[in-house]
A and B are shown apart, each in its own frame.
Chain A
Amino acid sequence: MNRKALSIPSILLSTLLLAGGLPAQAGVELHSRIDVDATAGETSIVIMPFSPLSKVIEADLQRSGRFALMDPARTGGNFSPEALRATGVEYAVVGSHSGGLDLQILNVRTGQVAGAFRIPPHPNERRMAHKAADLIFEKITGVRGAFDTRIAYVAVSGPPRQQTYQLIVADADGFNPRTIVSSRQPVMAPAWSPDAKQLAYVSYETGRPVVYVQDLASGSKRAISDPNRSSTSPAWSPDGSRIAYSVSDRGNYNIVVASSFGGGERQLTNTRGINTEPQWADNSTIVFTSDRSGQPQLYRINANGGGESRLSFNGGYNAGASIAGNNVAVVRQNGGQTQIALMNAASKEERILSRGTQDDSPAIAPNGMMVLYATDAGGRKGLAVASDNSKAHQSLYATAGEVRDPAWSPYLD
Chain B
Amino acid sequence: MKTTAFAILILAGAALASGCAPQTTTTAGDMGNPYGTGMPPTGMPPASGGNPYGYGNNPSANYGSGNYTPADLNNPNSILAQRVIYFDFDSSNIRPEYINVLNAHAALLATHPHLRVRLEGHADERGSREYNVALSERRGYAVFDYLQLKNVRANQMEVIGYGEEVPAVFGSNEAAWGKNRRVEIKYAGE
Q: Is the CB of A230 within 8 A of B160?
A: yes
The smallest C-beta distance from A358 to any residue of chain B, in angstroms, reads 6
Q: Does A21 interact with chain B (Cβ within 8 Å)?
A: no
Q: Do A320 and B29 contact each other (CB < 8 Å), given the known contacts A160-B167, A160-B170?
A: no
Q: Do A277 and B168 contact each other (CB < 8 Å), given the known contacts A209-B161, A230-B160, A252-B26?
A: no
Q: Which residue of A lies closest to B31 (CB)?
A: A291
Q: Is the CB of B160 within 8 A of A208?
A: yes
Chain B residues whose C-beta falls within 8 Å of the C-beta of A273 in the assembled complex: 26-27, 29
Q: Do A207 and B160 contact each other (CB < 8 Å), given the known contacts A319-B127, A320-B129, A361-B129?
A: yes
The smallest C-beta distance from A34 to any residue of chain B, in angstroms, reads 25
Q: Is the CB of A295 within 8 A of B131?
A: no
**Quick one: which of A301-346 are within 8 Å of B by CB?**
317, 319-320, 331, 333, 336, 338
Q: Does B9 interact with chain A (Cβ within 8 Å)?
A: no
- Cα(A276)–Cα(B138), bound, Å: 14
Which listed residue, B131, B163, B169, touches A289 by the CB 8 Å rule? Answer: B131
Q: Does B58 interact with chain A (Cβ within 8 Å)?
A: no
Chain B residues whose C-beta falls within 8 Å of the C-beta of A209 in the assembled complex: 133, 160-161
Q: Is the CB of A331 within 8 A of B128?
A: yes
Q: Does A44 interact with chain B (Cβ within 8 Å)?
A: no
The smallest C-beta distance from B156 to any residue of chain A, in angstroms, reads 15
- Cα(A252)–Cα(B161), bound, Å: 11
Q: Does A246 interact with chain B (Cβ within 8 Å)?
A: yes
- Cα(A250)–Cα(B25), bound, Å: 9
How extensive is the interface on chain B, given as a class? 20 to 34
Q: Is the CB of A232 within 8 A of B130?
A: yes
Q: Is the CB of B140 within 8 A of A251?
A: yes
Chain A residues whose C-beta falls within 8 Å of the C-beta of B167 in the assembled complex: 160
Q: Is the CB of A277 within 8 A of B130?
A: yes
Q: Is the CB of B126 within 8 A of A277?
A: no
Q: Does A233 interact with chain B (Cβ within 8 Å)?
A: yes
Q: Do A331 and B29 contact each other (CB < 8 Å), given the known contacts A161-B166, A186-B165, A209-B133?
A: no
Chain B residues whose C-beta falls within 8 Å of the C-beta of A276 in the assembled complex: 130-131, 133-134
- Cα(A274)–Cα(B118), bound, Å: 21
Chain B residues whose C-beta falls within 8 Å of the C-beta of A376 in the assembled complex: 172
**Quick one: which of A207-235 are within 8 Å of B by CB?**
207-209, 230, 232-233
Q: Do A246 and B165 contact each other (CB < 8 Å), given the known contacts A208-B160, A272-B27, A291-B29?
A: no
Q: Is the CB of B169 within 8 A of A160?
A: yes
Chain B 102-131 per-residue mask, 1 if CB under 8 angstroms from chain A, else 0 = 000000000000000010000001111111
Q: Is the CB of A188 within 8 A of B29?
A: no
Chain A residues whose C-beta falls within 8 Å of the C-beta of B138 in the assembled complex: 251, 274
Q: Is the CB of A358 within 8 A of B26?
A: no
Q: Is the CB of B165 within 8 A of A188?
A: yes
**Quick one: which of B125-180 are within 8 Å of A by CB?**
125-131, 133-135, 137-138, 140-141, 159-163, 165-170, 172
Q: Does A296 interact with chain B (Cβ within 8 Å)?
A: yes
Q: Is the CB of A358 within 8 A of B129?
A: no
Chain A residues whose C-beta falls within 8 Å of the C-beta of B137 in the assembled complex: 230, 248, 251, 253
Q: Is the CB of B125 within 8 A of A277?
A: no
- Cα(A186)–Cα(B130), bound, Å: 12
Q: Does A189 interact with chain B (Cβ within 8 Å)?
A: yes
Which listed residue, B128, B160, B165, B170, touches A360 by the CB 8 Å rule? Answer: B128
24 contacts between A and B (CB under 8 A): A160-B168, A186-B162, A186-B163, A186-B166, A188-B129, A188-B163, A204-B162, A230-B161, A252-B27, A273-B26, A273-B29, A274-B138, A277-B131, A294-B29, A295-B29, A319-B127, A338-B126, A338-B127, A338-B128, A357-B172, A358-B126, A358-B172, A374-B129, A405-B129
Other A-B pairs beyond A246-B134, A296-B127, A360-B128, 15, CB < 8 Å: A186-B162, A186-B163, A186-B166, A207-B118, A230-B133, A233-B130, A251-B134, A253-B134, A274-B135, A276-B131, A294-B28, A331-B127, A333-B127, A338-B126, A358-B126
A interface residue numbers (CB < 8 A to B): 160-161, 163, 165, 186, 188-189, 204, 207-209, 230, 232-233, 246, 248, 250-253, 271-274, 276-277, 289, 291-292, 294-296, 317, 319-320, 331, 333, 336, 338, 357-358, 360-361, 374, 376, 404-405
